[in-house]
Amino acid sequence: MTALQRKVCPWTMMSVMLLTVLPAVVAGAEDSLSPSFARSRVEVSDDLRRLVVQSAPQAESSRTELTEVGDLRLSLREAVLLALKNNLDIAITSFSPKIKSEDIAIAKAIFDPTFSLTLDANRTVTPTFNVLQGTQVSEIENRDVNTSLTQKLPFGASYTLSLTNNRFDTNSAFAQPPQGFNPSYKTFLNLSITQDLLKNFGVDVNTAPIKIARNNQAISVTQFRQQANQVITSVHSTYWSLVFAIENLEVQRRSLRLARELEDLNRARVRAGVAAPVEVTQAEAQAAARVQDVILAEKAVKDAEDQLKLIVNFPDGERIWARTVLPADTLPFEVAPMNTDASIQEALEKRPEYAAAKLTLQNSDLDLRVKRNQLLPSLQLQGNVGLNGLNSSAGGDLDRLTSGDFTQWSAAMVLTYPLGNRSARSAFTQARLSHDQAGASLLNLKRQIISQVREAVRRIDADVRRVEATRAARALAEEQLRVEQKRLEAGVTTTFNVLSFQRDLAVAQASEIQAITTYNQDLANLDLQKGTILEKNQLEL
């Protein structure tokens, strides 16, 4: 029976009560995983940017805040959920997708229409002189209401629709009836269109910034996912290290008990006159050495416990450091089938950094297309059509405008090309080099991923063989010690030999536990290399 199985926690409900430190729990199944699994969702809120964890239904039975004192039983899943919720690195990274999403709106804004309205009034009074009438006063008054709507279109055109309305009032004799009319109202409606035919022509060129912004937002999501993957892997490694430290402490305590039992046996043998006192001294020396091993093992437990507390980042402040964390899970050992080719394919499909590298290559390809387009000369087709209306009454000018009798139009072709065009050429060269660099980086990352997955799979295979070997060595060590103890009782061997076999057994037991611990840690590492650790933990971003 292991230390975890024999040690009784006074707070028997703690392992399930932990879940109240998580956000509201909602049960449900997701389509992307097997229906037999309960699912957990990690979402980023808009206000606090915190991770809300939707936990499995079996964890809903009871909850409590982390404010009690005493032992704290914690399962691996609970540790993962708490770390995702409380880890500051994840909280910081979670801002990026939302920030980048605003860049998409900024890129789209270039196609937003712009409306303008101008209200203008002016009055001018000046002295005038002519030989017939002498000195007179000239009064001129203008009132304008001008509106316009301007917009750029995705295929490379832009338009301006404007309406100008003017009221003109003067005391000039020439503007009075019957020669003219005063005040006069004039309205002008005009539509101007400019279409790029070479440079800046086409939907692909003009919408490239939007596509790049979308890719950048997707890259930030992959970075967020990668950060979560790293945290989950760290929790797995640290959690199993704590389990190993506790199990190893129990191994050292058992070894100490065996040494003391041998010490008592030798004292009895000395009193019976069948053993020399030196054998008691040997047993005492071995027991003293075992005490040192126990002390070191106890320190290792506390160190591993503090490391887990640090990664999980419990919200209980300073009080959590005084509490003892007891893993609720024991070390499992189930041989998982390995397929190197399938693992590599899965990694290339799901590794967040590989997805980010492909998006970066897409961005560089879009930028290259834009820069190639900028090498072309600017050839614009410009045209406008307009309607005019003039009358002595408000509204009458609009009637004349809408009659269609007073029109104007114009058309032009404008060619512009900077001689040498060095700026555009240099920008295109930079874009081409950046595209080649992104392609080389993607290829290099692909090779690294293949190498990492292959190494992770080999590590699992080696771990399995190591566990089998250490199990066999532990069983043989147990049998050797049993036989040697029988021989000691029969007086055909020495205390030194028994102590030697006791040491061998302690080493074999610790090696077996370490091998199983490493196997579980390496399973998490393989999931990290394949980009599937969120799925394996039944979590989804």
Q: Which of 308-317, 323-332, 521-530 has the lowest mean pLDDT?
A: 308-317
Residue 54: pLDDT over 80: no
In angstroms, rounded to a whole number, what is the distance separating the alpha carbons of residues 46 and 468?
Answer: 50
User: For tokens 């043989």, what's the residue?
Assistant: 476
Domain boundaries, the chain: 3-102+212-324+337-361+435-533, 114-152+157-199+378-416
Q: Which of 131-140, 200-209, 404-413, 503-512 has the lowest mean pLDDT?
A: 131-140
What pLDDT band is residue 45 in, cutting at 50, 70 and 90? very low
Residues 59-114 have pLDDT tens digits of 333 333 444 456 889 999 999 999 998 888 888 888 999 999 999 999 999 999 99
Q: What is the pLDDT of residue 384?
A: 95
Residues 474-509 have pLDDT tens digits of 999 999 999 988 888 887 787 888 888 888 999 999
Residue 366: pLDDT over 90: yes
Q: 239, exposed or middle or buried, with CB in 10 Å at 0-12, 13-18, 19+?
A: buried
**Is the domain 3-102+212-324+337-361+435-533 a CATH 1.20.1600.10 member?**
yes
pTM tops 0.95: no
1: which 2 tokens?
Answer: 């029976």
Helices and strands, number each (H, E), in the chain? 13, 11
Residues 315-330 have pLDDT tens digits of 766 678 888 889 999 9
Ramachandran angles phi, psi of 435, nearest 5°: -65, -45
Strands 40-44 and 539-540: parallel
Let me know: does 40 contact 539? Beta carbons within 8 Å: yes
Mean pLDDT of the residues in the chain: 83
- 409: three-class secondary structure by DSSP: strand
How many CA within 13 A on the CB side of residue 78? 24
What pLDDT band is residue 436 in, cutting at 50, 70 and 90? very high
Q: 534, exposed or middle or buried, with CB in 10 Å at 0-12, 13-18, 19+?
A: buried
Crossing angle of helices 203-271 and 95-108, rounded to 10°: 180
What pLDDT band is residue 19 in, cutting at 50, 70 and 90? very low
408: which 2 tokens?
Answer: 């104007």
